[in-house]
């Protein structure tokens, strides 16, 4: 009886494990094309920041980057952009790349369908465009979770799916030393993920460890002869859209808004 039950459920468990891996693994392209690192050989890396803009953290990190002459990429949340458009304008004015990190950063969005993700992406693009006059061409999903519905929504909007090769896990309580331990021996072409902002559902709003770690990270990269650059420079792809979203995508979002 036990053997028969195992024979029935083992294939289902294997399928579930495979789908879970495809959803959470940053380099897995099962659901669609993913960029988790850039080409090797250029002696360049990309430092990326998620969840901003957030006063008290984003502005301090911008000061550090400005003083070091470094350009980074900021994956911003639409809700935070609407609250702090001036801070987003500073990010853009100082030469950093702005990218899309959803509108609400839902922790349960992985269970939502295509229309939800289409609205999340397009509304964030619109908030960014209202602040700085351009729409991003790169998208990173909340918590890095990818599904077929996410990619289906992206096919109606011109975005590249960007994940990471290493992350600081600094959205949770941590220390600068732990962050630096995760970025030990960085290689060229890597995409590094940290958090400058605080997403709407965060339990931890303390970004002091990240703020302290950024100068240390920049020093380590300099000693390793690695130059931090924007993602569009590292990857050789557009950072901003040259055209708007498709008419079908806009119509779908308008219809969804009317139905709410």
CB 170 within 8 Å of CB 194: yes
Torsion of CA 143, 146, 147, 149, to 10 degrees: 90
**pTM score:** 0.90
pLDDT of the chain along its 260 residues, tens only?
A: 555 555 555 576 778 788 899 999 999 999 999 999 999 999 999 999 999 999 999 999 999 999 999 999 999 999 999 999 999 999 999 999 999 999 999 988 888 999 999 999 999 999 999 999 999 999 999 999 999 999 999 988 999 999 999 999 999 999 999 999 999 999 999 999 999 999 998 889 999 999 999 999 999 999 999 999 999 999 999 999 986 444 344 444 434 333 33
Quote the DSSP letter at residue 100. Answer: E
Q: How many CB atoms lie within 10 A of CB 127?
A: 22
pLDDT at 181: 98
Give the DSSP letter string of 107-167.
TTGGG--HHHHHHHHHHHHHHHHHHHS--BSEE--GGG---HHHHHHHTTTT-EEB--SEE
CB 87 within 8 Å of CB 127: no
Q: How many CB atoms lie within 10 A of CB 142?
A: 23
Q: Is the peptide bond before 245 cis (omega within 30 degrees of 0)?
A: no
pLDDT at 248: 44
pLDDT at 129: 98
pLDDT at 236: 97
**Residue 170 has which token pair?**
């600094």
pLDDT at 87: 98
From the list 235, 233, 221, the residue with the least C-alpha distance to 162 is 235
Quote the DSSP letter at residue 246. Answer: -
pLDDT at 127: 98
Distances (CA, A) of 176 to 25, 56, 74, 183, 207: 25, 17, 20, 11, 10
Q: Name, in order, each residue with C-beta under 8 angstroms of 73's C-beta and a sequence gap of 6 or more.
A: 46, 47, 48, 49, 96, 97, 98, 99, 138, 230, 231
pLDDT at 131: 98
The helix (H) or strand (E) run that includes residue 83 is helix 78-83
Q: Helices (H) and strands (E) in the chain — how many of each?
A: 10, 8
pLDDT at 259: 34
Quote the DSSP letter at residue 68. Answer: H
pLDDT at 251: 41
Give the DSSP letter string of 215-236.
HHHHHHHHHTT-EE--HHHHHT
pLDDT at 193: 98
Annotated catalytic residues are: 50, 195
């Amino acid at each position: 009886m036990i053997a028969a039950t195992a024979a029935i459920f083992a294939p289902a468990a294997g399928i579930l494990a495979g789908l879970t891996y495809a959803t959470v693994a940053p380099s897995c392209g099962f659901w669609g094309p993913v960029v988790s690192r850039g080409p090797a050989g250029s002696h360049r890396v990309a430092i990326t920041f998620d969840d901003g803009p957030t006063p008290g953290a984003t502005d301090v990190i911008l000061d550090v980057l400005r003083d070091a002459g470094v350009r980074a990429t900021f994956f911003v949340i639409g809700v935070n952009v609407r609250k702090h458009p001036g801070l987003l304008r500073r990010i853009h004015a100082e030469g950093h790349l702005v990218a899309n990190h959803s509108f609400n950063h839902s922790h349960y969005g992985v269970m939502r369908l295509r229309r939800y993700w289409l609205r999340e992406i397009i509304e964030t693009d619109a908030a960014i465009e209202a602040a700085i006059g351009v729409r991003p061409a790169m998208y990173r999903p909340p918590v890095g979770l990818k599904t077929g519905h996410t990619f289906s929504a992206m096919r109606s909007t011109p975005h590249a799916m960007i994940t990471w090769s290493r992350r600081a896990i600094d959205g949770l309580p941590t220390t600068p030393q732990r962050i630096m331990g995760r970025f030990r021996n960085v290689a060229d072409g890597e995409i590094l993920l940290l958090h400058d902002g605080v997403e709407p559902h965060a339990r931890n709003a303390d970004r002091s460890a990240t703020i302290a770690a950024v100068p240390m990270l920049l020093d380590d990269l300099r000693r390793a002869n690695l130059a931090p650059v924007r993602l569009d420079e590292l990857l050789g792809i557009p950072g901003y859209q040259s055209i708007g979203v498709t008419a079908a995508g806009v119509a779908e979002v308008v219809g969804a808004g009317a139905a709410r």
